[in-house]
């Protein structure tokens, strides 16, 4: 199944977003999805272009607002496979409030954050995940602020599937995204997706040398153990990949008792053509 559109990506050669997107497409195909039932919602930033490069239904949301749009799509049509994608600036800065509420609401969709620890599209300003000593055009002496810990934020918000992957480790990245899709609830994957143009610190080599895979045979980790997950997540000295935490009894919000989805219906007597309906309102 080909999830690739005929549009040529304008990402810089070598950008981590290529690997991130390839893994997403592979995971969607492996889970039996096809472009007709897949809806990709993107935020703003280099990562935000992904909806154009993938062959599926897609919507380019405004900055930081991709998650509420994705929530609306899923609630309106629970049959769709909804995948929301954005960057660290989009998701953890202007979109941080939406992130917390999407996590706790636990709608059955997948959220991929292409975390390159820099604002790439606007040419290299520090982002919420940039290191404290990272010198950029807007932090000539370092940011002097602690980077946000996205996995900790997700865990504290009641996350039911919290994972991390590395775009260059294509096989593992695709497997982890696949598990996020299969999870019943909000599947969150923070993807290390290096920006080769503006970030010379969090590079491919850096991640290759430091990443510890919690799924390795010789690494003992029980993903259902909340305290074990907390310990890994709060360890800022290591970069982990794999499924860090999963609540296996999670049920997506839209399937819960008392929640009626789809929540939107075309009112009785409304024109059948959806565009006519839209024109009536505007």
Residues in contact with ligand SF4 by the rule CB under 6 A: 11-12, 15, 17, 46, 116, 120-121, 195-198
How many other CB atoms are found less than 10 A from the CB of residue 37?
A: 15
Q: Cα–Cα distance between 185 and 58 in angstroms, integer? A: 21
Nearer CB in complex with ligand SF4: 21/177? 21
Do the beta carbons of residue 58 and residue 42 sit within 8 Å? yes
Measured CA to CA, the distance from residue 37 to residue 55 in angstroms comes to 11
| Shortest Å distance, C-beta 229 to ligand SF4 | 29
State the minimum distance, in angstroms, from the CB of residue 126 to ligand SF4: 14
Q: Residue 277 CB, nearest distance to ligand SF4 (Å)? A: 38
Please state the closest distance from residue 193 (CB atom) to ligand SF4, in A: 7
Nearer to ligand SF4, 12 or 62 (CB): 12
Q: How far is the CB of 247 from ligand SF4 (least distance, A)?
A: 32
Closer residue to ligand SF4, CB minimum distance, 90 or 213: 90
Q: Indicate the residue among 11 and 207 with the shorter CB distance to ligand SF4.
A: 11
Q: Which residues contact 101 (CB under 8 A, 6 or more apart)?
A: 67, 157
What is the token pair recorded at 59? 């919507």
How many whole angstroms separate alpha carbon 8 and alpha carbon 37? 23
| Residue 15 or 177 having the CB closest to ligand SF4 | 15
Q: Does the bond joining 81 to the residue before it have cis omega, within 30 degrees of 0?
A: no
């Amino acid at each position: 199944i080909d999830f690739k559109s005929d549009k040529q990506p304008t990402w810089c050669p070598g950008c981590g977003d290529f690997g991130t997107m390839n893994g997403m497409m592979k995971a969607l195909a492996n889970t039996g999805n096809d472009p007709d039932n897949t809806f990709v919602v993107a935020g703003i930033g280099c990562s935000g272009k992904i909806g154009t490069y993938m062959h599926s239904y897609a919507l380019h949301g405004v900055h930081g607002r991709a998650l509420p749009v994705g929530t609306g799509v899923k609630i309106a049509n629970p049959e769709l496979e909804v995948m929301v994608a954005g960057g660290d600036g989009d998701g953890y800065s202007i979109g941080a409030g939406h992130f917390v509420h999407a996590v706790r609401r636990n709608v059955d969709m997948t959220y991929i954050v292409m975390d390159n620890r820099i604002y790439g599209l606007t040419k290299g300003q520090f982002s919420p995940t940039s290191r404290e000593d990272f010198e950029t055009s807007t932090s000539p002496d370092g940011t002097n602020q602690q980077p946000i810990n996205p996995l900790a934020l997700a865990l504290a918000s009641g996350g039911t599937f919290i994972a991390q992957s590395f775009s260059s480790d294509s096989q593992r990245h695709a497997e982890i995204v696949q598990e996020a899709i299969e999870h019943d609830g909000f599947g969150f994957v923070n993807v290390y997706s290096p920006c080769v143009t503006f970030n010379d610190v969090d590079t491919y080599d850096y991640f290759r040398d430091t990443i510890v895979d919690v799924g390795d045979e010789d690494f003992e980790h029980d993903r259902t153990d909340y305290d074990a997950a907390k310990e890994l997540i709060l360890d800022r000295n290591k970069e982990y990949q794999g499924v860090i935490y999963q609540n296996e009894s999670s049920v997506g919000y839209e399937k819960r008792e008392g929640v009626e989805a789809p929540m939107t219906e075309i009112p009785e007597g409304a024109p059948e053509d959806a565009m006519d309906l839209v024109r009536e309102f505007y």
